[in-house]
Amino acid sequence: ETDKNGFYRDIDLSNTSVQVGIGEINAGPSSGSFKLTRNSVTSLEIQYNATTTDLYNAISGIAGLGVNVATYGIEPFSYLITAATDNTALSLGGSSFTLFPTSSVAISTRKFPAPSAKAQQIIKLIRNTAVYSDVFTISPTAGVVTLSKVQDGSATQNETYSLAIGSDAVGGSVVLNYGQNTTTAIAVGSSASVFSDALSSVTGIGAGNISVDSGNNAGEYSISFVRNLGLQNITTALTLDSAGVIYAKFLQTTITMATAELNELFAEEALSEFTKSLEVKLVQPNNLRTIYQGPITIRAGLVDTSNIVPAQQASYYTKAECDSLFATNPPTFPALNNYYTKTESDARYPTTTALNNYYTKTESNGRYLTTTAFTSVTINVCSNGSPSTLVVLRYS
């Protein structure tokens, strides 16, 4: 809501609640029955569209006390149960039993018993919405108005800042600080020249030494130090004071899809997608007001009905099965039939101390010829009267 100046302010939520949902907020069931309980005693079935007389008879059958039953408020399927005498407690419970579509029996205490007061309880049959929330918080304002340095000044570039004022800032003013010196309050939505004039008036900056340009988006400004303060690193920081900004106040909530209720809606429509109304309602004493209603389409393929943890697949090992197939630390291996263990294999091969029946290397070498184990003998023979030399190698 807006104030007299047109600025958005908080909605007064005293004795008020806000509800958002898909699928008929506060609607009742369309068939089935429910039951009531008291002190572990359960009533017979009560039809979803029971009259006050039907409900009176059901309660009288389990309570053992007198009550008065009336319809309650403007909502359908709502009943007010009042004890017939002062200071008599009511402690009814409810079961949704066969109510359809999926619904709840909401029971709340309106008045507690007292010596001069009759206890009261409210019974409401409420169809479970596919999407619903009634817990809202004020939206945060952090980050709506920001000032950040884009680049440091140097011999080749000017020191530059970016001031961004988001659309949720609907009024008020900002102040820019240059060290200990400050600008006057600058109204949100002011032109670039207004920001430039305000900064030029700050001690330490001076006229002509600041340049402010509007960005492509409304509320964005580029602030650069130029001329006498240009092409150098500015050691004095430019900072922002946004305490004077007026923000649009919004309520926000997180909603969760109710899979069972969505599936019922798909079944009712007999389609793979349907369009329902997204409703936001303001609930005040004796007043239920719809403040927003718009279409929303939900597709069955986007509703996850599977188990979060996939089931074991027959063609694959589970993690436990995989782990059991690998060695642990220290390793343990099962016996392998038809194969020798390491110990058995070692036992079948001789070691250096097990060669009693074998020649040592020295002994083996001694039994074979070496290049130095030969001597030469020269024999002179004659052939046709001409002496010849025959060289014979002989093992010695």
Amino acid 20 reads V
Indicate whether 332 belongs to any domain: no
Q: Do 279 and 214 belong to one domain?
A: no
In the prediction, which pLDDT does 163 show? 96
Q: Taking phi first (over 0 means left), then psi (-120 to 50 degrees means alpha), and beta for anything else, what does residue 393 get? A: beta
Task: Mark whether 123 and 197 lie in a shared domain.
Answer: no
CB count, 10 Å around CB of 168? 18
- Max CA distance (Å), the chain: 166
Q: Are 376 and 389 in contact (CB under 8 A)?
A: no
Are residues 162 and 106 part of one domain? no
Q: Does residue 214 fall inside a structural domain?
A: yes
Asked if residue 195 and residue 214 are part of one domain, the reply reads yes
Same domain, 232 and 273: no
77 phi and psi, to 5 degrees?
60, 35
Given a contact cutoff of 8 angstroms between Cβ atoms, the answer to whether 121 and 110 are in contact is yes
Tokens of 327: 């060695």
Residues 6+ apart with CB under 8 A from 280: 18, 19, 20, 290, 291, 292, 293
CB-based contact 153:234 (threshold 8 Å): yes
Query: Residue 26: which of 346, 288, 321, 303 has the closest Cα?
Result: 288
CA 312, 316, 322 angle in degrees (round to 5)? Answer: 95
pLDDT of residue 64: 72
Distance of CA 20 to the CA centre of its chain: 21
Which residues have CB under 8 Å from 58's CB, separation 6+?
36, 43, 44, 46, 50
Judgement on whether residues 172 and 215 belong to the same structural domain of the protein: yes
Handedness of CA 146, 165, 135, 15 (dihedral sign): positive
Residue 235, Cβ density class (10 Å: 0-12 exposed, 13-18 middle, ≥19 buried): exposed
Q: Are residue 205 and residue 115 in the same domain, yes or no? A: no
278 in a domain, yes or no?
A: yes
372 falls within a domain: no
Same domain, 228 and 283: no
Q: For the chain, what is the domain count?
A: 3
Q: Are 152 and 229 in contact (CB under 8 A)?
A: no
Point out the domain boundary residue: 304, 325, 346: 304
Return the percent helix, strand and coil in the chain, to nearest 5.
15, 40, 45
Task: Decide if 361 is inside a domain.
Answer: no
In this structure, the answer to whether residues 195 and 271 fall within a common structural domain is: no
Q: Are strands 131-133 and 93-95 parallel, antiparallel or unpaired?
A: unpaired
At 221, which helix (H) or strand (E)?
A: strand 220-225
CB-CB contact of 5 with 171 (8 Å): yes
Q: What is the pLDDT of residues 1-21, one digit of tens each?
A: 556 666 555 556 666 777 787
Residue 316 lies in a domain: no
Distance CA 127, CA 119 (A): 26
Q: What is residue 237's predicted lDDT score, i.e. its pLDDT?
A: 95
CA 41 to chain centre: 43
pLDDT of residue 350: 60
User: Which residue range forms the structural domain that includes residue 167?
Assistant: 145-247
CA triple 121-124-127, angle to 5 deg:
160
Q: Verify that 161 and 243 share a domain, yes or no.
A: yes
Q: Please report, to the nearest 10 degrees, the dihedral formed by the alpha carbons of residues 148, 151, 152, 154 taken in order.
A: -160
Residues 151, 120 share a domain: no
Please report, for the domain that includes residue 167, its CATH number. Answer: 2.60.40
Q: Are both 57 and 122 inside the same structural domain?
A: yes
What span, in angstroms and rounded, lies between the C-alpha atoms of 127 and 63?
26
Residue 196 lies in a domain: yes
Positions in the chain whose pLDDT score sits under 70: 1-15, 23-24, 63, 65, 215-217, 269, 302-319, 323, 326-342, 345-346, 348-361, 363-396
Q: Is residue 360 part of a domain?
A: no
